């Protein structure tokens, strides 16, 4: 990798430009927040994707709308570039966890420098930062040493099942990837590592019988599930960054019937890729101990860990340099949740958490500090004009 260098993009002019456009940034964020886009309602994504496609075309990007089979679809856009020019990947998502109708009881409000509203922090503000960082580079005459390629997907909150293939393919040919998920904590820390995420379902099959007349003829799936749950929780290893949580259980027919079936849904988080095969094998290798019962286990760790690799740390050092030039204090953290950065990190240098500073992701009271839009757009602009990390890319 080359020595870290950031070509001149004069800080006073950059900040002045973005301060002058603060009102436009807020207006666009308000527009995005007021378009409700739950992941589970594909048709809700169309107005948002149309709006974002228009914004990218205004910035002279070539835009392709990619239809989804089970999702609302995705956008891929790239700046015009000469042949063989390397590319850098900018990723955001337009879906949220909030159902249609949330605005009725959790309306968009602005108070004391904060903008509140569903999806504002996670991560519609990140999309605003991405777009205005592109504006800043273009307006101030900055060149693209690496052409920006933008992916906006509509299924990130439900695991990026459809969009991962596209993201993986692009990450393999891009010099680096920037992820516009919200930052971490009130100081706006960047995310240089994330836990991998998995989901498993354990179904126990037993034998129904009358609980009073013929209890010995039954085999309780609920009893067996209680043993399974204890084995699952025993897999937790805080020192290794492994968390296993049985989040939901169900089963049984009636109080006077030996339960013939029960089920548990399990969330798994893992910090190191080296632990993934062992952990998956341990879960799939569970065996019943209650006579007459059997287990059916499905699932996997679908999002691999984003580890603090040398190339990720190299990109983090670049961000530190850019932040210092802007007079910003910046630190790095490990996040417990996953993102599309987990995927890109397998193939290229990745920096996550470039979105806004705020709080309340997936929670009532979600908000963004409006002034952070300027700082994060300035930081992103600095990163976008940096020379390639790997000249061979």
Could you give the domains of the chain?
Answer: 11-195+306-384 (3.40.630.10), 196-303 (3.30.70.360)
Residue with tokens 């995927």: 343
Dump the DSSP string for 260-313: SEEEEEEEEEES-GGGHHHHHHHHHT----STT-EEEEEEEEEE--B---HHHH
Question: How many degrees, rounded to 5, is the angle at CA 215 between CA 211 and CA 219?
Answer: 105
Residue with tokens 């286990």: 297
Q: Partners of 204 in the beta sheet? A: 262, 295
What is the reported pLDDT for 144?
Answer: 84
What is the reported pLDDT for 2?
Answer: 44
Give the integer Cα–Cα distance in Å for 254 and 259.
8
**Residue 264: φ, ψ to 5°:** -130, 140
Give the integer Cα–Cα distance in Å for 90 and 135.
14
What is the reported pLDDT for 271?
Answer: 95
What is the reported pLDDT for 391?
Answer: 60
Label residue 284 left, alpha or beta by phi (over 0 means left) and psi (-120 to 50 means alpha): alpha
Beta carbons of 116 and 33 less than 8 angstroms apart = no
Q: Which two tokens stand for residue 295?
A: 């287990």
Question: How many degrees, rounded to 5, is the angle at CA 110 between CA 109 and CA 111?
Answer: 120
Give the integer Cα–Cα distance in Å for 53 and 304.
30
Splitting the chain (393 residues) into consecutive groups of 10 residues, what average pLDDT does each group show?
55 95 98 98 97 97 96 96 91 97 97 98 98 95 87 96 96 97 94 96 98 96 98 97 97 97 98 96 98 98 94 95 94 93 96 96 96 97 91 50
What is the reported pLDDT for 6?
Answer: 46
Beta carbons of 23 and 110 less than 8 angstroms apart = no
Give the integer Cα–Cα distance in Å for 20 and 40.
37
What is the reported pLDDT for 143?
Answer: 73
Give the integer Cα–Cα distance in Å for 115 and 128.
13
Angle subtended by helix axes 11-20 and 22-33, to nearest 10 = 50
């Amino acid at each position: 990798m080359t020595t870290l260098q950031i070509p001149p993009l004069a800080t006073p002019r950059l900040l002045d430009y973005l301060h002058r456009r603060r009102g436009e940034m807020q207006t666009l964020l308000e527009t995005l927040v007021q378009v409700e886009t739950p992941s589970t309602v594909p048709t809700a994504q169309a107005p948002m994707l149309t709006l974002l496609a228009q914004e990218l075309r205004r910035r002279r990007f070539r835009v392709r709308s990619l239809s989804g089979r089970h999702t609302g679809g995705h956008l891929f856009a790239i700046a015009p570039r000469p042949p063989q020019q390397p590319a850098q990947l900018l990723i955001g998502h337009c879906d949220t966890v909030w159902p249609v109708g949330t605005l009725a009881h959790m309306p968009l409000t602005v108070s004391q420098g904060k903008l509140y509203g569903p999806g504002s922090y996670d991560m519609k503000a990140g999309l605003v930062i991405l777009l205005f960082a592109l504006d800043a580079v273009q307006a101030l005459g900055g060149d693209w040493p690496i052409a920006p390629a933008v992916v906006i997907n509509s299924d990130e909150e439900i695991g990026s099942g459809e969009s991962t293939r596209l993201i993986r393919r692009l990450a393999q040919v891009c010099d680096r990837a920037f992820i516009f998920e919200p930052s971490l904590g009130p100081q706006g820390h960047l995310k240089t590592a994330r836990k991998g995420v998995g989901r498993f379902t354990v179904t126990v099959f037993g034998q129904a019988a009358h609980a009073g007349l013929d209890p010995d003829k039954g085999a309780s799936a609920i009893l067996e599930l209680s043993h399974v749950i204890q084995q699952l929780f025993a897999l937790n290893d805080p020192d290794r960054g492994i968390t296993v949580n049985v989040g939901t259980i169900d089963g049984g027919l009636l109080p006077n019937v030996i339960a013939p079936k029960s089920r548990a849904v399990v969330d798994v988080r893992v910090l190191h890729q080296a632990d993934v095969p062992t952990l998956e094998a341990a879960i799939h290798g569970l065996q019943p101990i209650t006579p007459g019962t059997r287990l059916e286990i499905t699932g996997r760790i679908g999002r691999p860990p984003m580890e603090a690799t040398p190339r990720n740390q190299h990109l983090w050092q670049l961000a530190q340099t850019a932040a210092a030039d802007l007079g910003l204090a910046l630190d790095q953290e490990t996040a417990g949740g996953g993102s599309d950065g987990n995927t890109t990190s397998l193939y290229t240098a990745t920096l996550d958490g470039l979105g806004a500073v705020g709080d309340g992701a997936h929670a009532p009271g979600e908000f963004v500090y409006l002034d952070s839009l300027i700082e994060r757009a300035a930081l992103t602009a600095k990163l976008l004009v940096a020379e390639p990390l790997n000249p061979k890319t």
